[in-house]
């Protein structure tokens, strides 16, 4: 059996720990911001792992099969990409005991757990860097980092002054590891192995392309797969990633190429981004270009890799979907449907199922509105539940091929299918335009006795039969 069979067709739920849920059963130490107050760069809302554990049944009902946590290790930042201690879960989150409890409760429900591995850089509070900061070139850890002079200038830099050591994006709080140092390599590999042996199911690797060393990642894979042969290794790489996906480094990457294509097509003239997409400015595109982009994307990697990709429409590093699609929920829904039917796992950023708003650094990481259910978009929530249910244990979704049925596609209509060569298929027809559309399907396209699995504004004519299909503006239907 394929050790990674569990990730194919998976529904992953991305949790930003400080903003997802604060336990209602256990007292939380510390003074925190009001949960519903606006997001701030340094503020803590007090979300914790016991709170996340208390929401596992909500996730199960949503159809989630895996959880991806943004960093959970000890840190002085609300996002926790400034790691102090890789072996200690942040005490604000409840510490190692709370994580162990979450892991056990998740696994009991059949939900896998993926952690964020931040191995390109640490923090000023990381012991070895702090030692170097205090002792300068006398520190035995001076080769763990990239100092360019002493004393290190880690605080109170002038307006145009840069730190005198290598750090991520010249941010002094994020000193970059020297991964060519055998001691550093051994440390990182030990961390990766330790948490896999504690029971986690995979690593999402933060900016792994900035550790520009294939040998390091090959060794990382060997260590991880020895600890857990079924562990999932996915990297945050926004563009083409063939270098890392040859079978000797990562299993997959976060598929920002897919989200970019969907934004350009389904967002269209409503497309609105506050930040560039990995340095690219996304522009509206027509159906022909979208189909060409998707076809090219499907041809980039081996089919097994494509089926393991971490597809996502938004994340903690992007604007939320509702803002990206200009507030147009009909356009947004088309992107959701397409992504849920696309080969690979689908990763859902917390709160998107409720229609949360927010742009990067101004709402993207807001608190989940558990106590304000009147603000939930129940229609979106129902959509996500329906699509997740359609995916669950579906062999066509897990292993099926993808193709556009080009004879029916034009600038208004998009028809595609997932299928298994030995039999079994799902066919989706979409109207991507703002006006009603009709199409006639030749006999047999949907099989002998097709069923409607999902219907959002489609009418079969004559009733219950084919070949006539009417689609409302931005409507769609899924058949098998």
> Of 53, 54, 116, 206, which residue is the catalytic one?
206
CB atoms within 10 A of CB 294: 21
Q: Calculate the alpha carbon distances from 281 to 215, 239, 260, 263, 300 in Å.
A: 33, 13, 10, 11, 22
Return the half-sphere exposure (C-beta side, CA atoms, 13 A cut-off) of residue 277.
Answer: 24
Which residues lie below 8 Å from residue 190, measured CB to CB, with a gap of 6+? Answer: none
206 is catalytic: yes
Pairing, β 232-235 against β 252-255: parallel
Instruction: Please list the helix, strand and coil fractions of the chain in percent, rounded to the nearest 5, in that order.
Output: 35, 20, 45
Q: Calculate the alpha carbon distances from 162 to 122, 131, 146, 155 in Å.
A: 18, 21, 14, 10
Distance CA 247, CA 303 (A): 12
Which residues lie below 8 Å from residue 366, measured CB to CB, with a gap of 6+? Answer: 19, 38, 39, 351, 356, 358
Distance CA 98, CA 48 (A): 9
236 is catalytic: yes
Burial of residue 202, with CB atoms counted within 10 A of its CB: 0-12 exposed, 13-18 middle, 19 or more buried: buried
- Residues, the chain: 480
CB atoms within 10 A of CB 64: 23
Q: Calculate the alpha carbon distances from 36 to 41, 53, 59, 374 in Å.
A: 15, 20, 21, 14
Pairing, β 452-461 against β 401-404: unpaired
Pairing, β 252-255 against β 310-312: parallel
> Of 54, 201, 236, 456, which residue is the catalytic one?
236
CB atoms within 10 A of CB 242: 11
Q: Please answer whether residues 113 and 51 qualify as being in contact, where contact means their C-beta atoms are separated by less than 8 angstroms.
A: no
Distance CA 320, CA 328 (A): 12
Q: Which residues are catalytic?
A: 206, 236
């Amino acid at each position: 059996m394929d050790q990674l069979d569990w990730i194919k067709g998976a529904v992953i739920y991305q949790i930003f720990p400080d903003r997802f849920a604060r336990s209602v059963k256990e007292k939380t130490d510390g003074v925190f911001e009001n949960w519903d107050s606006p997001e701030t760069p340094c503020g803590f809302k007090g979300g914790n792992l016991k709170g996340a554990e208390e929401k596992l049944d909500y996730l199960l009902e949503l159809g989630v099969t895996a959880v991806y946590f943004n960093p959970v290790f000890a840190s002085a930042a609300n996002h926790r990409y400034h790691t102090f201690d890789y072996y200690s879960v942040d005490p604000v989150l409840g510490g190692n005991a709370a994580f162990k409890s979450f892991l056990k409760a998740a696994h009991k429900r059949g939900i896998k757990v993926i952690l964020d591995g931040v191995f390109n850089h640490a923090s000023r509070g990381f012991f070895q860097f702090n030692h170097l900061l205090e002792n300068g070139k006398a520190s035995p850890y001076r080769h763990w980092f990239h100092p360019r002079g002493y004393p290190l200038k880690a605080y109170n830099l002038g307006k145009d002054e840069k730190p005198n050591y290598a750090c991520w994006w010249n941010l002094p709080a994020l000193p970059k590891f020297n991964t060519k140092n055998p001691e550093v390599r051994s440390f990182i590999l030990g961390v990766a192995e330790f948490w896999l042996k504690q029971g986690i199911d995979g690593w999402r690797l933060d900016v792994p392309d900035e550790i520009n060393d294939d040998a390091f990642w090959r060794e990382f894979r060997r260590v991880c797969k020895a600890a857990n042969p079924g562990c999932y290794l996915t990297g945050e790489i926004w563009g083409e990633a063939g270098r890392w996906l040859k079978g000797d480094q990562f299993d997959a990457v976060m598929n920002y190429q897919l989200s970019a294509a969907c934004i350009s097509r389904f967002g269209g003239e409503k497309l609105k981004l506050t930040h560039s997409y990995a340095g690219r400015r996304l522009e509206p595109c027509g159906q022909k270009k979208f189909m060409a982009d998707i076809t090219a994307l499907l041809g980039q990697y081996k089919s097994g890799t494509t089926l393991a990709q971490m597809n996502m429409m938004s994340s903690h590093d992007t604007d939320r979907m509702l803002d990206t699609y200009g507030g147009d929920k009909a356009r947004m829904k088309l992107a959701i449907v397409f992504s849920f039917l696309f080969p690979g796992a689908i990763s859902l950023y917390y709160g998107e199922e409720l229609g949360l708003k927010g742009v990067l650094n101004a709402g993207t990481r807001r608190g989940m509105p558990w106590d304000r259910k009147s603000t939930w978009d129940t229609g979106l929530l129902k959509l996500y539940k329906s699509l997740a249910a359609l995916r669950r244990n579906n062999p066509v979704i897990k292993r099926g091929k993808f193709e556009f049925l080009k004879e029916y596609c034009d600038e208004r209509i998009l028809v595609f299918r997932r299928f298994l060569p030995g039999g079994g298929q799902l066919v989706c027809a979409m109207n991507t335009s703002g006006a009603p559309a009709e199409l006639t399907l030749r006999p047999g396209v949907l099989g002998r006795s097709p069923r409607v699995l999902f219907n959002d504004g489609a009418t079969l004519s004559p009733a219950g039969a084919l070949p006539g299909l009417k689609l409302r503006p931005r409507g769609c239907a899924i058949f098998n």
